[in-house]
Amino acid sequence: MSVRIRRVYEAPEPEDGVRVLVDRLWPRGLSKDAAHVDEWPKGLTPSTELRRGYHAGEGSYEEFAGRYEAELDTPEAAELLDHVRELAGTGAVTLLTASKSPERSHAAVLARLLA
């Protein structure tokens, strides 16, 4: 299983495999053609409240990750996680985010859960 994280603004690479956008909002200033996104499962994204709180500096990354994992504990999210796991089982999957620090974002939480 191969899951990696990249910024959506980076040029696609052949090693990306299936490119999955994991942000709730479409990245600013990026056309759909330029993004080369294969899937956009909005049900895997953090809630607006959680996202805004984390970006405002409310709590640590560890608190954010814990709350996000709790949000993912729904049947819809479990189904979407299973789907992305299936994709990763057949080839590479790249989780795309507009976050400036992908390694401290919800994409890192998802990558860990998919491993």
What residue ranges do the domains of the chain occupy? Answer: 2-114
For residue 17, is it left (φ>0), alpha (ψ between -120 and 50) or beta? left
Q: Where are the alpha helices (DSSP H) in the chain?
A: 32-35, 48-55, 61-71, 75-90, 106-114
Handedness of CA 112, 4, 54, 41 (dihedral sign): negative
Q: Give the model confidence (pLDDT) of 51-77 as tens digits.
A: 999 988 888 999 999 999 999 999 999
Residue pair 61/99 in contact (Cβ under 8 Å)? The answer is: no
Whether the pTM exceeds 0.75: the reply is yes
pLDDT score at 43: 94
pLDDT score at 2: 87
Q: How many CA atoms lie within 13 A of 52 on its CB side?
A: 3
Tokens of 94: 């790249």
Low pLDDT (below 70) residues in the chain: 1
pLDDT score at 113: 93
